[in-house]
Chains A and B, each alone.
Chain A
């Protein structure tokens, strides 16, 4: 790769850093935990990188390392998105609950538990 290449990548890197800063600065504090989890899932895209490495790996050592990398990256991307989705599921039930609250109460616990288990 020529040095022009590295400058191109640096350009992308710097611009992405500014985008990352800009997008995140508007997140309300109650969503910080889902945000951390969601951004954790986003870097799980490292899986694409591990797959590319797997394509080039030769010999037992390289293939073993690449295999391990693919497993770890899959954990990151799959686990990350599923955990985030579960967290955000919790926020969804709100308006319905407020309506239900007028009619009765103290059934919220079991209802949300069922919704949690039932969805997905």
Chain B
């Protein structure tokens, strides 16, 4: 057999490894092994690629490739190892974005290599698709990262004529793509790439922070498709299979995530979410002057210690405060006192589906204490206390009762049905979706202001001594 045949066979093994990896992720038991198989498959394919005749005989280029890989790994390993669990979503965003960038660069560079001489139209088409989707994914992920990392506001960014500008950029890209297709011109392709980067930015800007996880999932699928496109350009089965697997699964996952929020994907991406929030801003102003009941840690601690059933509703605030260990301590103390405790997990609590499960798993909260929303809601009316820690939108009754609300239709955890509701909040600032929560003003609601970890530590001390 020739070397090329061997390479193809190794790539086939790697492709099967990737399918196995994704399949492994379907159960907690096999997930980790699945991921390791995926990593091994990738390592095998990458190692075998060094046998590529063109690369092997390219001298300096081979050295440069190795240097580039060392540089990349030297950045990636410490970053991925040291990042806090709360920062995982933006890590996924940024690692996804660079993948899209790499795919776009492949398409662009292959186009330059094949120049001069006008390639076949479908070859240009493959390049155009790879560059366009890769660039959108790259710059879009960068903005998503900035929003989650709070380098910029998490609110939707809107400006006058936004739709018109977006449409113009889209049309310009379409025009340039057609022109490139006809002429095979490199400068036109480069201009289109720049506009595609701009499109990624303006596409993501108006999307509110609470919707960013859905967006990252979509951009992940985009990168998959860009990788598949570069697979077409390079005639590589492996890239086509891996990219398409991710593209297909990513689109499905994106749909499941938007379903969990009770909204359609187009609604998340293109709705005038921003303008509704601005309208809600007026209500905020009048809302903040209304009285709320703030409690002391002593009152609340005693209430918890003598309750029969406490439901903890964790949200992103818990994650930000790194309070997952403290909440577990509190839950364990209450359990020892004979209080029935469980966690009600909203599907989109935190900033990604399953984000809360990952965080609470980090604090060794047992699986059987974690209840999914559908399982938890029927029990809410029998709970004495709903302890809402750093969550807001996921318990906002407006999602059920006020059709004008931007989150209307999103399923919520019915904290409002519990006998008492305790909110641990940093301030009266509205949640990620930027809207007011009526439940905060309910007479049965008590608020404990402060950092979630500090508040929980105080509660732990009260419960210990009561």
Determine the chain B residues whose CB is within 8 A of the CB of A34 once the complex forms: 25, 31, 35, 354, 358
Whether B99 pairs with A73 at a CB distance below 8 angstroms is yes
Whether B49 pairs with A81 at a CB distance below 8 angstroms is no
Q: Which residue of B lies closest to A55 (CB)?
A: B55
Rounded to whole angstroms, the CA-CA distance of A62 and B243 in the bound complex is 24
Rounded to whole angstroms, the CA-CA distance of A92 and B52 in the bound complex is 39
Q: Which of A6, A39, A73 has the most chain B CB within a 10 Å cutoff?
A: A39
Whether A72 pairs with B102 at a CB distance below 8 angstroms is yes
> A15-34 toward B: CB 8 Å interface, digit per residue (1/0)?
01111110111111111111
Q: Which of B72, B122, B253, B329 has the most chain A CB within a 10 Å cutoff?
A: B72
CB distance from B155 to the nearest CB of A (A): 24
Query: Is B32's CB within 8 Å of the partner chain A?
Result: yes
Determine the chain B residues whose CB is within 8 A of the CB of A84 once the complex forms: 35
Q: How many chain-A residues does the 8 Å CB contact rule pick out?
A: 94
Whether A65 pairs with B76 at a CB distance below 8 angstroms is no
Whether A105 pairs with B332 at a CB distance below 8 angstroms is yes
Q: How many chain-B residues does the 8 Å CB contact rule pick out?
A: 123
CB distance from B130 to the nearest CB of A (A): 10
Query: Is B191's CB within 8 Å of the partner chain A?
Result: no
Determine the chain B residues whose CB is within 8 A of the CB of A44 once the complex forms: 42, 95, 99
- Give the A-B contact count at a CB cut-off of 8 A: 404
CB distance from B139 to the nearest CB of A (A): 13
Rounded to whole angstroms, the CA-CA distance of A40 and B19 in the bound complex is 13
Determine the chain A residues whose CB is within 8 A of the CB of B68 once the complex forms: 54, 67-68, 70-71, 74
Whether A83 pairs with B91 at a CB distance below 8 angstroms is yes
Q: Which residue of B lies closest to A106 (CB)?
A: B329
Rounded to whole angstroms, the CA-CA distance of A85 and B56 in the bound complex is 32
CB distance from B446 to the nearest CB of A (A): 25
CB distance from B243 to the nearest CB of A (A): 6
CB distance from A82 to the nearest CB of B (A): 4
Given contacts A31-B354, A76-B102, A94-B361, 13 further A-B contacts (CB under 8 A): A31-B27, A33-B355, A38-B35, A39-B253, A47-B102, A48-B45, A49-B106, A55-B55, A80-B92, A80-B95, A91-B32, A105-B336, A106-B329
Interfacial residues, chain A to chain B (CB-CB below 8 A): 1, 5-6, 9, 12-13, 16-21, 23-58, 61-63, 65-94, 97-98, 101, 105-106, 108-113, 116, 120
Return 21 A-B CB contacts under 8 Å, by A number.
A6-B122, A17-B247, A26-B26, A30-B354, A30-B370, A31-B25, A32-B256, A34-B25, A38-B31, A46-B103, A47-B69, A47-B102, A54-B64, A54-B65, A55-B62, A68-B68, A72-B105, A76-B95, A88-B35, A108-B363, A112-B325
Q: Closest 7 A-B residue pairs measured CB to CB?
A: A74-B72, A20-B248, A109-B325, A55-B55, A70-B68, A76-B99, A105-B332
